[in-house]
């Protein structure tokens, strides 16, 4: 260092134009270390490496939740969220009933499993979204004796009352099938009269299907044997005397 005409002069000066010859890539900025005069690249947040040549994978930390697909960008990422979720990280559950996907005035109920929903359909509709119209099989009033008709997807069901036992559609706690509706008289050995079974002699029960054992009371005397024979639905007690052999 010395003075020339009152100006400060230096020896061994660096030529700045010779520095930063290795150009930084991807809009990186070249900086000079003032101490050792070595060059380096200051990279943007999307790149790394000596010359900013390495693209940083923003999806390497798996930032997307609930199975969201991470799409890598330049210095950023985008989460493509699965159905039912939204937000930058797919962290916000969407109420599946928000727009009521159920059709035909069905009621949407949110379920806990996988943020899903189910539809409670009104009468005559079925399907996941209540989109299927069910034929009304009860229009023709197929149930007999004022039984209650329930419409089903492929038919109907009759709910019976507790009265007329002769009619199978009226038996307590019995769900009547379609095929049984054409056979109203259920009295096996008797006739239906005013909703009740009038049994033939020798038979009993609600449907006259139980055989009466006339010999149960032991009407025979001494060593006589009781036999029961049914002839034309009439029970006849035959008493056979056992004669001792002489």
CATH number assigned to the domain comprising residue 44: 2.10.25.10
Provide the token pair at 167.
């009619």
pTM for the whole structure:
0.37
The region, left, alpha or beta by phi > 0 then psi within -120 to 50, assigned to residue 121 is beta
Answer whether residue 171 is part of any domain.
yes
- Please list, in sequence order, all residues whose beta carbon lies within 8 angstroms of the beta carbon of residue 227, skipping any fewer than 6 positions away: 215, 237, 238, 240
Please, what is the end-to-end C-alpha distance for the chain in angstroms?
169
pLDDT, residue 19, reads 52
Domain-ending residue, one of 166, 182, 197: 197
Domain that residue 162 falls in: 148-197
Give the three-state DSSP class for 170: helix
Domain-ending residue, one of 163, 182, 197: 197
pLDDT tens digits for range 57-93: 999 999 999 899 999 988 889 999 998 889 999 998 8
Answer whether residue 170 is part of any domain.
yes
How many structural domains compose the chain? Answer: 2
Answer whether residue 161 is part of any domain.
yes
Answer whether residue 154 is part of any domain.
yes
Which stretches of the chain score pLDDT less than 50? 1-4, 6-18, 164-183, 230-246
pLDDT, residue 219, reads 72
DSSP code of residue 245? P
d(CA 244, CA 246): 6
Write out the DSSP string of 109-169.
EE-SGGG-EEEEPPTTEESTTS-EEPP-TTTT--SSTTPEEEEETTEEEEEP-SS-TTSGG
pLDDT, residue 195, reads 62
pLDDT, residue 128, reads 92
Answer whether residue 68 is part of any domain.
no
pLDDT, residue 184, reads 53
d(CA 15, CA 37): 11
b (16+ CB within 10 A) / e for 170-184 = bbeeeebeeebbeee
Answer whether residue 165 is part of any domain.
yes
Answer whether residue 30 is part of any domain.
yes
Q: Which of 216, 192, 208, 236 minimizes the C-alpha distance to 200?
A: 208
pLDDT, residue 246, reads 36
d(CA 109, CA 121): 11
pLDDT, residue 99, reads 87
């Amino acid at each position: 260092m010395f003075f020339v005409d009152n100006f400060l002069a230096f020896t061994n000066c660096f030529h700045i134009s010779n520095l930063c010859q290795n150009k930084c890539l991807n809009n990186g900025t070249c900086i000079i270390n003032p101490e050792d005069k070595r060059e380096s690249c200051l990279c943007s947040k999307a790149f790394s490496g000596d010359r900013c040549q390495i693209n940083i994978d923003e999806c390497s930390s798996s930032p997307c939740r609930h199975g969201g697909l991470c799409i890598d960008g330049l210095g950023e990422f985008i989460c493509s969220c699965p159905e039912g979720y939204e937000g930058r990280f797919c962290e916000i559950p969407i109420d599946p009933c928000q727009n009521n996907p159920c059709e035909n005035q069905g009621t949407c109920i949110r379920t806990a499993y996988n943020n899903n929903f189910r539809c409670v359909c009104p009468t005559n509709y079925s399907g996941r979204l209540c989109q299927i119209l069910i034929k009304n099989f009860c229009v023709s009033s197929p149930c007999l004796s004022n039984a209650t008709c329930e419409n089903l997807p492929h038919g109907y069901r009759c709910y019976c009352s507790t009265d007329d036992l002769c009619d199978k559609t009226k038996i307590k706690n019995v769900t009547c099938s379609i095929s049984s509706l054409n056979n109203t008289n259920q009295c096996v050995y008797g006739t239906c009269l005013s909703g009740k079974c009038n049994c033939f002699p020798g038979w009993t029960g609600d449907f006259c299907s139980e055989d009466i054992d006339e010999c149960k009371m032991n009407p025979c005397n001494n060593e006589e044997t009781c036999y029961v024979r049914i002839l034309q639905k009439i029970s006849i007690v035959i008493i056979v005397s056992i004669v001792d052999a002489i």
